[in-house]
Amino acid sequence: LQPVPPQRGLVDGEERFNVFAHRPGAPNPELIFNTHMDTVPPYFPAKLDRAAGILRGRGACDTKSLMAAQMLAAQALVAAGQTNVGLLFVVSEETDHTGMQVANALNLAPRWMVVGEPTEKKVIRAQKGILKVRVSCQGIAAHSGYPHLGHSATADLVHVLHELLREQWPSGPLGDTHLNIGTLTGGEAANVVAP
């Protein structure tokens, strides 16, 4: 188990753990099966229907099923004599990526890495990345009854976001570029021009 600090922005967040498993004597496996253990919010428990053999709920496909498949694949490889195999399951892939950032401290250098993600049963050799940007605007606070004495940061932010949404983003071999405004905060009170 590899400790990962609480998720950023969660004052009372719990410490989480990456799981790195390898065979005795092979701390830097040639082949690593990797996926993530977290799910996209909101969180609710998964349910196993044993009679039907079906796992339902958030994360069943992305990626609880893939963790199970990777463990079975590693077990089969070991049984066949291929013992230089490891498993790396990380936290926070869906949010702030701290699990993989912390895992980098393991200094692993596998020859092959199989990353488990839902791909419609296709083998994928590359995937689009992500660029996270924080946009902020500065205003001048004033009472909403006297808006001429202030300047609204939220009004500026709405304008900037509108322009970003109208932008024609590039397309390439991996598909279209997508813009997602994931979180939005601003202002201090309903009767205050947002500083």
SS (H, E, C) the chain: CEEECCCCCCCCCCCEEEEEEECCCCCCCCEEEEEECCCCCCCCCCEEECCCCEEECCCHHHHHHHHHHHHHHHHHHHHCCCCCEEEEEECCCCCCCHHHHHHHHHCCCCCEEEECCCCCCCCCCCCCCCCCCCCCCCCECEECCCHHHCECHHHHHHHHHHHHHHCCCCEECCEECCCCCCCCCCCCCCCEECC
Burial of residue 130 (CB within 10 Å: 0-12, 13-18, 19+) is exposed
Structure tokens at 140: 């001048």
In the residue annotation, 93 being an active-site residue is answered as yes
Which is catalytic among the residues 14, 93, 120, 163?
Answer: 93
Catalytic annotation, residues:
93
